[in-house]
Amino acid sequence: MSVTADLRTAILSGDAIVRIHADLAGASGAKILPATYAGVGHNITPAREDGSSAWCSVDSPASFANRVEAALVAAHPELAPLRVKVGNRELSTLEMPHRAFDATLRESALDGVSWVQTDIAKAIGAATQNNAYALLQYDPAMVLLGGWDSTKLGKRAQATREAKYPAALSCEITATDVVPVNRAGNRIDPLGIEGTIDNIVEFEDGHTEMYDAEAHDAVLEKAKKTKSPFPCRIRPSEANLGNILSFISKGVLVRGSIELNGVIDLRRLNRYRFDPADTIEARLLLALMGLYGIYAVLRERLDLRRDCELVVTSLDVSVQRFLGESMPLDFSGVGDALATQIAAVGEHIAKPVVLEANAALRSLAGAD
Protein backbone atom coordinates (compact mmCIF):
# COMPACT_ATOMS: atom_id res chain seq x y z
CA MET A 1 0.00 0.00 0.00
CA SER A 2 1.01 3.64 -0.45
CA VAL A 3 1.93 5.97 2.37
CA THR A 4 -1.32 7.85 1.71
CA ALA A 5 -3.45 4.72 1.98
CA ASP A 6 -1.63 3.53 5.11
CA LEU A 7 -2.04 6.91 6.79
CA ARG A 8 -5.70 7.16 5.84
CA THR A 9 -6.32 3.74 7.40
CA ALA A 10 -4.45 4.78 10.54
CA ILE A 11 -6.46 8.01 10.81
CA LEU A 12 -9.74 6.17 10.38
CA SER A 13 -8.80 3.75 13.15
CA GLY A 14 -8.95 6.62 15.65
CA ASP A 15 -6.25 5.23 17.97
CA ALA A 16 -3.00 5.37 16.00
CA ILE A 17 0.27 7.23 16.22
CA VAL A 18 3.21 7.38 13.82
CA ARG A 19 6.58 6.65 15.40
CA ILE A 20 9.85 7.79 13.88
CA HIS A 21 13.22 6.46 15.04
CA ALA A 22 16.52 7.21 13.35
CA ASP A 23 20.03 6.20 14.33
CA LEU A 24 22.43 9.03 13.56
CA ALA A 25 26.18 9.54 13.48
CA GLY A 26 28.43 12.56 13.50
CA ALA A 27 29.66 13.22 9.97
CA SER A 28 33.19 13.92 11.22
CA GLY A 29 33.35 11.52 14.16
CA ALA A 30 32.16 11.11 17.72
CA LYS A 31 32.65 14.72 18.80
CA ILE A 32 29.66 16.97 18.09
CA LEU A 33 28.39 20.40 19.09
CA PRO A 34 24.90 20.24 20.66
CA ALA A 35 22.71 23.30 20.97
CA THR A 36 23.99 25.90 23.44
CA TYR A 37 21.70 27.94 25.70
CA ALA A 38 22.49 31.35 27.18
CA GLY A 39 23.76 31.09 30.73
CA VAL A 40 23.54 27.30 30.69
CA GLY A 41 25.67 25.92 27.88
CA HIS A 42 24.67 22.50 26.59
CA ASN A 43 21.55 20.80 27.96
CA ILE A 44 23.25 17.84 29.64
CA THR A 45 21.65 15.60 32.26
CA PRO A 46 24.54 14.20 34.33
CA ALA A 47 25.09 10.52 35.06
CA ARG A 48 23.14 9.14 38.02
CA GLU A 49 24.08 6.78 40.80
CA ASP A 50 21.90 4.04 39.32
CA GLY A 51 24.40 3.73 36.49
CA SER A 52 22.53 5.82 33.92
CA SER A 53 24.99 7.64 31.69
CA ALA A 54 25.03 11.36 30.95
CA TRP A 55 22.43 12.38 28.38
CA CYS A 56 22.40 15.42 26.09
CA SER A 57 19.77 17.13 23.96
CA VAL A 58 21.36 17.76 20.57
CA ASP A 59 18.31 19.39 18.97
CA SER A 60 15.20 20.21 20.98
CA PRO A 61 11.59 19.55 19.87
CA ALA A 62 11.05 23.28 19.31
CA SER A 63 14.21 23.58 17.22
CA PHE A 64 13.33 20.50 15.18
CA ALA A 65 9.85 21.93 14.56
CA ASN A 66 11.52 25.04 13.13
CA ARG A 67 13.48 22.79 10.75
CA VAL A 68 10.24 21.10 9.68
CA GLU A 69 8.74 24.54 9.02
CA ALA A 70 11.73 25.55 6.91
CA ALA A 71 11.42 22.37 4.85
CA LEU A 72 7.70 22.91 4.33
CA VAL A 73 7.93 26.56 3.32
CA ALA A 74 10.78 25.76 0.90
CA ALA A 75 8.77 23.06 -0.86
CA HIS A 76 5.19 24.33 -0.44
CA PRO A 77 4.90 28.04 0.40
CA GLU A 78 1.20 27.82 -0.47
CA LEU A 79 0.70 26.07 2.90
CA ALA A 80 1.39 29.41 4.62
CA PRO A 81 -0.91 31.94 2.93
CA LEU A 82 -0.59 34.58 5.68
CA ARG A 83 2.43 36.81 5.02
CA VAL A 84 3.70 40.13 6.33
CA LYS A 85 5.77 42.52 4.25
CA VAL A 86 8.40 44.29 6.36
CA GLY A 87 10.44 46.61 4.17
CA ASN A 88 11.98 44.43 1.46
CA ARG A 89 11.27 41.19 3.36
CA GLU A 90 8.18 39.04 3.33
CA LEU A 91 7.61 36.57 6.15
CA SER A 92 5.02 33.81 6.22
CA THR A 93 3.52 32.16 9.29
CA LEU A 94 5.86 29.20 8.72
CA GLU A 95 8.69 31.63 9.55
CA MET A 96 7.03 33.27 12.57
CA PRO A 97 7.59 31.78 16.06
CA HIS A 98 3.90 31.90 17.04
CA ARG A 99 2.57 31.22 13.56
CA ALA A 100 -0.86 32.86 13.02
CA PHE A 101 -0.76 34.14 16.62
CA ASP A 102 2.57 35.92 16.12
CA ALA A 103 3.11 39.52 17.19
CA THR A 104 4.42 40.28 13.69
CA LEU A 105 0.86 39.89 12.42
CA ARG A 106 -0.53 41.89 15.33
CA GLU A 107 1.69 44.83 14.34
CA SER A 108 0.52 44.77 10.72
CA ALA A 109 -2.49 45.81 8.66
CA LEU A 110 -4.46 44.45 5.73
CA ASP A 111 -5.70 47.11 3.31
CA GLY A 112 -5.37 49.70 6.06
CA VAL A 113 -7.25 47.63 8.66
CA SER A 114 -5.32 46.54 11.77
CA TRP A 115 -4.79 42.78 11.77
CA VAL A 116 -6.71 42.20 15.00
CA GLN A 117 -9.77 43.91 13.45
CA THR A 118 -9.78 41.87 10.23
CA ASP A 119 -12.33 39.15 9.57
CA ILE A 120 -9.47 36.66 9.12
CA ALA A 121 -8.00 37.35 12.55
CA LYS A 122 -11.45 37.13 14.14
CA ALA A 123 -12.12 33.79 12.41
CA ILE A 124 -8.79 32.36 13.58
CA GLY A 125 -9.41 33.65 17.10
CA ALA A 126 -12.86 32.06 17.18
CA ALA A 127 -11.65 28.66 15.93
CA THR A 128 -11.96 25.60 18.15
CA GLN A 129 -11.08 21.95 17.75
CA ASN A 130 -14.69 21.28 16.68
CA ASN A 131 -14.62 24.20 14.25
CA ALA A 132 -11.06 24.47 12.95
CA TYR A 133 -11.77 25.36 9.33
CA ALA A 134 -10.19 28.83 9.69
CA LEU A 135 -6.93 27.19 10.80
CA LEU A 136 -6.94 24.92 7.74
CA GLN A 137 -7.62 27.93 5.54
CA TYR A 138 -4.95 30.25 6.85
CA ASP A 139 -2.38 28.30 8.90
CA PRO A 140 -2.64 24.49 8.72
CA ALA A 141 0.77 24.14 10.39
CA MET A 142 -0.82 25.56 13.56
CA VAL A 143 -2.71 22.29 14.03
CA LEU A 144 0.33 20.13 13.30
CA LEU A 145 3.01 22.08 15.18
CA GLY A 146 0.93 23.78 17.83
CA GLY A 147 0.09 27.36 18.68
CA TRP A 148 -0.64 29.61 21.62
CA ASP A 149 -2.46 32.91 21.34
CA SER A 150 -0.22 34.62 23.89
CA THR A 151 0.65 37.83 22.05
CA LYS A 152 -2.37 39.97 22.94
CA LEU A 153 -1.77 43.35 24.59
CA GLY A 154 -3.91 45.73 26.65
CA LYS A 155 -7.44 45.01 27.88
CA ARG A 156 -8.01 42.64 24.98
CA ALA A 157 -5.51 40.26 26.61
CA GLN A 158 -7.68 39.99 29.72
CA ALA A 159 -11.05 40.01 27.98
CA THR A 160 -10.52 37.14 25.55
CA ARG A 161 -9.46 33.54 25.89
CA GLU A 162 -5.95 32.43 24.97
CA ALA A 163 -6.35 29.62 22.46
CA LYS A 164 -3.84 26.80 22.91
CA TYR A 165 -3.31 24.03 20.39
CA PRO A 166 -0.84 21.32 21.48
CA ALA A 167 1.55 20.10 18.81
CA ALA A 168 0.75 16.78 17.15
CA LEU A 169 4.35 16.46 15.93
CA SER A 170 7.30 16.22 18.30
CA CYS A 171 10.85 15.11 17.47
CA GLU A 172 14.08 15.42 19.41
CA ILE A 173 17.67 14.45 18.68
CA THR A 174 19.57 13.18 21.72
CA ALA A 175 22.96 11.67 22.52
CA THR A 176 23.75 9.20 25.29
CA ASP A 177 26.87 8.56 27.33
CA VAL A 178 28.35 11.96 26.57
CA VAL A 179 31.45 13.62 27.99
CA PRO A 180 31.92 17.41 27.74
CA VAL A 181 35.08 18.46 25.92
CA ASN A 182 37.15 21.63 25.99
CA ARG A 183 37.85 23.65 22.90
CA ALA A 184 40.54 26.21 22.18
CA GLY A 185 39.38 29.28 20.29
CA ASN A 186 42.54 31.26 19.73
CA ARG A 187 43.05 34.16 17.36
CA ILE A 188 46.67 34.80 16.48
CA ASP A 189 47.14 38.29 15.05
CA PRO A 190 49.32 38.18 11.92
CA LEU A 191 50.46 41.75 12.63
CA GLY A 192 51.65 40.92 16.12
CA ILE A 193 49.46 43.62 17.67
CA GLU A 194 49.55 43.75 21.47
CA GLY A 195 47.85 45.88 24.05
CA THR A 196 45.79 45.43 27.18
CA ILE A 197 44.88 49.04 27.89
CA ASP A 198 42.00 51.08 26.44
CA ASN A 199 44.03 52.77 23.73
CA ILE A 200 41.45 52.67 20.94
CA VAL A 201 38.44 54.98 20.60
CA GLU A 202 35.31 53.45 19.07
CA PHE A 203 32.71 55.71 17.43
CA GLU A 204 29.00 55.19 16.83
CA ASP A 205 29.43 54.55 13.10
CA GLY A 206 31.88 51.72 13.87
CA HIS A 207 35.14 53.40 12.90
CA THR A 208 38.02 53.51 15.39
CA GLU A 209 40.92 55.82 16.10
CA MET A 210 44.02 55.45 18.25
CA TYR A 211 43.46 57.29 21.51
CA ASP A 212 44.96 60.75 21.68
CA ALA A 213 44.27 62.84 24.77
CA GLU A 214 44.27 66.17 22.93
CA ALA A 215 41.96 64.92 20.15
CA HIS A 216 39.57 62.79 22.18
CA ASP A 217 39.33 63.77 25.85
CA ALA A 218 36.70 66.44 25.25
CA VAL A 219 34.30 64.22 23.27
CA LEU A 220 34.86 61.32 25.67
CA GLU A 221 33.99 63.52 28.64
CA LYS A 222 30.88 64.81 26.87
CA ALA A 223 29.72 61.25 26.17
CA LYS A 224 30.27 60.36 29.82
CA LYS A 225 28.19 63.30 31.03
CA THR A 226 25.32 62.57 28.63
CA LYS A 227 25.55 58.80 29.34
CA SER A 228 26.03 58.12 25.65
CA PRO A 229 27.72 54.76 24.84
CA PHE A 230 29.80 56.37 22.07
CA PRO A 231 32.51 57.38 21.64
CA CYS A 232 34.27 55.15 24.14
CA ARG A 233 37.72 53.74 24.82
CA ILE A 234 38.29 50.02 24.23
CA ARG A 235 41.13 47.52 24.27
CA PRO A 236 42.51 46.16 20.97
CA SER A 237 40.98 42.74 21.74
CA GLU A 238 37.51 44.32 21.85
CA ALA A 239 38.06 45.47 18.27
CA ASN A 240 39.22 41.96 17.26
CA LEU A 241 42.83 43.05 17.07
CA GLY A 242 45.81 41.37 18.67
CA ASN A 243 46.07 37.85 20.04
CA ILE A 244 42.90 36.49 21.63
CA LEU A 245 43.22 33.27 23.61
CA SER A 246 40.29 31.25 24.89
CA PHE A 247 39.77 27.78 26.31
CA ILE A 248 36.16 26.87 26.96
CA SER A 249 33.93 23.85 27.49
CA LYS A 250 32.16 23.43 24.17
CA GLY A 251 30.91 20.26 22.51
CA VAL A 252 30.61 16.67 23.69
CA LEU A 253 32.26 13.36 22.93
CA VAL A 254 29.53 10.77 22.27
CA ARG A 255 30.48 7.35 23.61
CA GLY A 256 26.94 5.98 23.27
CA SER A 257 24.43 6.71 20.53
CA ILE A 258 22.88 9.65 18.67
CA GLU A 259 19.20 9.14 17.96
CA LEU A 260 16.14 10.92 16.69
CA ASN A 261 12.88 9.87 18.30
CA GLY A 262 9.63 11.42 17.23
CA VAL A 263 5.90 11.04 16.95
CA ILE A 264 3.02 12.32 14.88
CA ASP A 265 0.01 11.75 17.11
CA LEU A 266 -2.90 11.01 14.78
CA ARG A 267 -5.20 10.81 17.81
CA ARG A 268 -4.59 14.50 18.43
CA LEU A 269 -5.25 15.39 14.79
CA ASN A 270 -8.46 13.38 15.01
CA ARG A 271 -9.88 15.82 17.57
CA TYR A 272 -10.14 18.55 14.91
CA ARG A 273 -13.04 19.02 12.53
CA PHE A 274 -12.66 21.07 9.37
CA ASP A 275 -16.20 21.34 7.94
CA PRO A 276 -17.02 22.24 5.19
CA ALA A 277 -13.80 20.57 4.03
CA ASP A 278 -13.61 16.77 4.16
CA THR A 279 -12.28 16.32 7.69
CA ILE A 280 -10.54 12.99 6.98
CA GLU A 281 -8.75 14.43 3.94
CA ALA A 282 -7.72 17.52 5.93
CA ARG A 283 -6.28 15.34 8.71
CA LEU A 284 -4.46 13.32 6.07
CA LEU A 285 -2.97 16.52 4.65
CA LEU A 286 -1.66 17.49 8.09
CA ALA A 287 -0.15 14.04 8.70
CA LEU A 288 1.58 14.13 5.30
CA MET A 289 2.90 17.61 6.04
CA GLY A 290 4.49 16.26 9.21
CA LEU A 291 5.93 13.16 7.55
CA TYR A 292 7.31 15.17 4.64
CA GLY A 293 8.87 17.72 6.98
CA ILE A 294 10.62 15.02 9.02
CA TYR A 295 11.76 13.20 5.87
CA ALA A 296 13.16 16.41 4.37
CA VAL A 297 15.03 17.30 7.55
CA LEU A 298 16.57 13.82 7.83
CA ARG A 299 17.53 13.77 4.16
CA GLU A 300 18.64 17.35 3.56
CA ARG A 301 18.80 19.41 6.77
CA LEU A 302 20.82 17.52 9.37
CA ASP A 303 23.67 20.02 9.12
CA LEU A 304 22.38 21.41 12.40
CA ARG A 305 25.24 23.81 13.02
CA ARG A 306 28.99 23.97 12.59
CA ASP A 307 30.58 20.82 14.04
CA CYS A 308 27.17 19.18 14.33
CA GLU A 309 26.68 17.70 10.88
CA LEU A 310 24.82 14.42 11.27
CA VAL A 311 23.95 11.55 8.92
CA VAL A 312 21.23 8.89 9.14
CA THR A 313 22.53 5.33 9.44
CA SER A 314 19.17 3.58 9.96
CA LEU A 315 15.55 4.65 9.93
CA ASP A 316 12.34 3.08 11.18
CA VAL A 317 8.89 4.61 10.65
CA SER A 318 5.85 2.73 11.88
CA VAL A 319 2.18 3.03 12.76
CA GLN A 320 1.28 1.92 16.27
CA ARG A 321 -2.34 1.25 17.27
CA PHE A 322 -3.81 0.57 20.70
CA LEU A 323 -2.68 -2.92 21.78
CA GLY A 324 -1.80 -3.66 18.17
CA GLU A 325 1.38 -4.68 16.44
CA SER A 326 3.65 -2.01 15.04
CA MET A 327 3.21 -1.75 11.26
CA PRO A 328 6.08 -0.38 9.14
CA LEU A 329 5.35 2.74 7.11
CA ASP A 330 7.34 3.41 3.94
CA PHE A 331 7.43 7.15 3.50
CA SER A 332 10.04 7.40 0.75
CA GLY A 333 7.33 8.69 -1.61
CA VAL A 334 5.91 11.18 0.85
CA GLY A 335 6.90 14.21 -1.26
CA ASP A 336 4.67 13.16 -4.16
CA ALA A 337 1.95 12.07 -1.72
CA LEU A 338 1.92 15.50 -0.08
CA ALA A 339 1.75 17.31 -3.42
CA THR A 340 -1.21 15.14 -4.45
CA GLN A 341 -3.00 15.78 -1.16
CA ILE A 342 -2.44 19.54 -1.43
CA ALA A 343 -4.10 19.40 -4.83
CA ALA A 344 -7.02 17.46 -3.33
CA VAL A 345 -7.58 19.83 -0.38
CA GLY A 346 -6.07 22.99 -1.86
CA GLU A 347 -9.39 24.70 -2.62
CA HIS A 348 -9.85 25.06 1.15
CA ILE A 349 -6.48 26.78 1.69
CA ALA A 350 -6.59 30.52 1.14
CA LYS A 351 -4.70 32.31 -1.57
CA PRO A 352 -1.80 34.45 -0.30
CA VAL A 353 -2.85 37.26 2.04
CA VAL A 354 -0.10 39.89 2.34
CA LEU A 355 -0.20 42.39 5.19
CA GLU A 356 1.92 45.51 5.59
CA ALA A 357 3.95 46.05 8.76
CA ASN A 358 2.99 49.16 10.71
CA ALA A 359 5.40 52.02 11.37
CA ALA A 360 6.43 50.67 14.79
CA LEU A 361 7.33 47.25 13.42
CA ARG A 362 9.18 48.74 10.43
CA SER A 363 11.18 50.96 12.76
CA LEU A 364 12.03 48.11 15.13
CA ALA A 365 13.10 45.94 12.20
CA GLY A 366 15.22 48.73 10.71
CA ALA A 367 13.08 48.59 7.55
CA ASP A 368 12.29 52.32 7.21
Q: What is the pLDDT of residue 244?
A: 67
Q: Alpha carbon of 8 to those of 96, 134, 245, 329: distances in Å?
A: 30, 22, 58, 12
The answer to whether 361 and 104 have CB atoms below 8 angstroms apart is yes
Q: What is the pLDDT of residue 160?
A: 60
- The pTM for the full model equals 0.84
Query: pLDDT by residue (tens digit) across 140-155?
Result: 999 999 998 887 765 5
Q: What is the pLDDT along the chain (368 residues), one digit of tens a residue?
A: 799 999 999 999 999 999 999 999 999 999 999 988 888 888 988 887 776 788 999 999 999 999 999 999 999 999 999 999 999 999 999 999 999 999 999 999 999 999 999 999 999 999 999 999 999 999 999 999 999 888 776 555 555 667 899 999 999 999 999 998 877 666 666 766 677 678 899 999 989 998 999 889 999 999 999 999 999 998 887 777 776 666 667 889 999 999 999 999 999 999 999 999 999 999 999 999 999 999 999 999 999 999 999 999 999 999 999 998 899 999 889 999 999 999 999 999 999 999 999 999 998 888 87
Q: What is the pLDDT of residue 189?
A: 64
The answer to whether 120 and 93 have CB atoms below 8 angstroms apart is no
The alpha-helical segments, DSSP class H, found in 155-240 are 155-159, 213-225
Using CA atoms, how far apart are residues 269 and 172, in angstroms rounded to an integer?
A: 20
